[in-house]
Amino acid sequence: MPSSRFGFSLAGAVLLAALLAPAHAQQLVPQAPSQGAEVAPEFVSATQQWLDDAVAKAQSASASPLRMEVSIGSLDSRLRLAPCTHVEPYIPVGMRLWGRTRLGLRCTDGGGRWNVFLPVTIKAFGPAWVLRDNVVAGTVLTPADAVEAEADWAAEASPVVAEAAQWVGQTASRSLVAGQPLRQSMVKAAQVFAAGAQVRVVAQGPGFEVTSDAQALTPGVVGQTVRLRMDNGRMTTGIVQDLRTVRLSM
Q: What is the mean pLDDT of residues 14-31?
A: 39
pLDDT band at 60 (very low <50, low <70, confident <90, very high): low
pLDDT digits (tens, 9 = 90+) for 71-127: 888 878 788 888 888 888 888 898 887 889 888 888 888 777 889 898 988 888 889
Residue 29 has pLDDT above 50, yes or no: no
Least confident of 32-41, 168-177, 192-201, 204-213: 32-41
- DSSP state, residue 15: H
Give the number of other Cβ atoms within 10 Å of residue 84's Cβ. 23
pLDDT digits (tens, 9 = 90+) for 130-143: 999 999 998 989 99
**Could you give the CA distance from residue 53 to residue 55 in angstroms, rounded to a whole number?**
5
8 A C-beta contact, residue 71 and residue 21: no
Per-residue model confidence (pLDDT) at position 55:
59
8 A C-beta contact, residue 92 and residue 116: no
Q: Which residues contact 2 (CB under 8 A, 6 or more apart)?
A: none
**Could you give the CA distance from residue 155 to residue 121 in angstroms, rounded to a whole number?**
9
Residue 9 has pLDDT above 50, yes or no: no
**Could you give the CA distance from residue 190 to residue 38 in angstroms, rounded to a whole number?**
57
Residue 10 has pLDDT above 60, yes or no: no
Residue 182 has pLDDT above 60, yes or no: yes
CA distances in angstroms from 3 to 52, 80, 94, 122, 242, listed in the order given: 12, 23, 24, 11, 50
Strand partners, 129: 148
8 A C-beta contact, residue 154 and residue 122: yes
Chain centroid to Cα 133, Å, comes to 23
Residue (of 19, 204, 192, 186) closest to 97 by Cα position = 19
